[in-house]
Structure 1
């Protein structure tokens, strides 16, 4: 088994809102705990940013994006320090960049229309993940009506998430709303984590 002094395996998920990210991580967490692994799950960064007075969704700024990235990294470090063998990251750092891009904040020192990326000098300190899942928007799936979602912005974030991953050649696995796709993602996570645990 991985000892508390070893670097934990980190699995992140990104994607536009209400595409099953948290549900996917909860299912992965349940499976891993069932195999005897110590698991920590981070999240709620958007709500915490709003509670700190920072803008979110269509109003993301450089400052709110930097806060979310930095706080997410701190949460990961804390989870590892507590001895977690696996850290599940709900909204990995790249997620914040996709939201920032979708918000249409002008990119300093760049030509109009240029797509921002993880290569943007303001966001170069992104963590590397052992596994990264990217949920895919399915507009036919119902959303939580208690949230006032802007459908266009939700689609734009989805586009930016997947464009960023492809443009910056970031290894990831797409996860659709199809139950088989989700089951496959869970299997991949469990297999990888158990393999690392036995090393």
Structure 2
């Protein structure tokens, strides 16, 4: 590899399906191989501090904020990485399309229909970024337990899962499904490592 390559890996999916944990594990593996990596995230928590509505109360404005902030975070993360490394990696915990799936699920949960101009504007913003080099989408397993501290609306959680995968199909986006099973997570991590590692930049054993 003769020039710096920036690899962008994103994840999307409904809440409490392992998105952040998956990205943390990939980050750890890449750092163990001395590959410069930055991970973005915490968009939902930051939106609540603005404050903006979230979950089933998502609006056009809150969705636009999440998308724009996520795009800005990814650009800033890439800029802070070591430009002299042969491979640099940005891990987006909540890919750009994720907020659109959450918004569509919120509208269905409330029984609302968006204005055409708002719908089209959000769609354009979601598609404004270059495609991810690798995109993961977690799959909801309703039988897997959730920590008691999370007081989720189960109907909304299922709607987000359905809209996530419907959106990916409708947009014809290439992605890797990740279930709650450990072997699925391990395969996802291996997929990311294969994408990021070459003979030139990965000589160490896996951590």
Fold shared, TM-score > 0.5 on shorter chain? yes
| 1:19 and 2:44 matched | no
| 1:149 and 2:160 matched | no
Distance 1:52 1:197, change over 3 A: farther
Partner of 1:108: 115
8 Å contact from structure 1 (residues 73, 127) kept in 2: no
Describe the SS at the equivalent of 2:197. helix
| 1:192 and 2:195 matched | yes
8 Å contact from structure 2 (residues 78, 90) kept in 1: yes
Distance 1:35 1:61 in 2: 41
Distance 1:26 1:122, change over 3 A: closer
Give the count of matched residue pairs.
Answer: 191
Describe the SS at the equivalent of 1:30. helix
Distance 1:74 1:195 in 2: 28
Partner of 1:33: 31
Off by >2 Å, runs of 4+ in structure 1: 116-124, 195-198
Partner of 2:165: 162
8 Å contact from structure 1 (residues 2, 8) kept in 2: no
Distance 1:80 1:196, change over 3 A: farther
| Aligned pair partner of 2:131 in 113, 119, 128 | 128
Partner of 1:46: 44
Shift of 1:2: 8.1
Equivalences for residues 48-87 of structure 1 within 5 A = 48-83=46-81, 85-87=88-90
Shift of 1:117: 8.2
Distance 1:90 1:145, change over 3 A: same
Distance 1:161 1:2 in 2: 37
Partner of 2:205: none
Report the RMSD for the aligned CA atoms in angstroms: 2.2
Unaligned runs of 5+ in 1: 111-115
Distance 1:10 1:118, change over 3 A: farther
Distance 1:197 1:131, change over 3 A: farther
Distance 1:171 1:118, change over 3 A: farther
Shift of 1:137: 0.3
Distance 1:117 1:13 in 2: 23
| TM-score, normalised relative to structure 2 | 0.85
| 1:179 and 2:182 matched | yes
| Aligned pair partner of 1:91 in 91, 94, 98 | 94
8 Å contact from structure 2 (residues 100, 123) kept in 1: no
Distance 1:83 1:127 in 2: 19
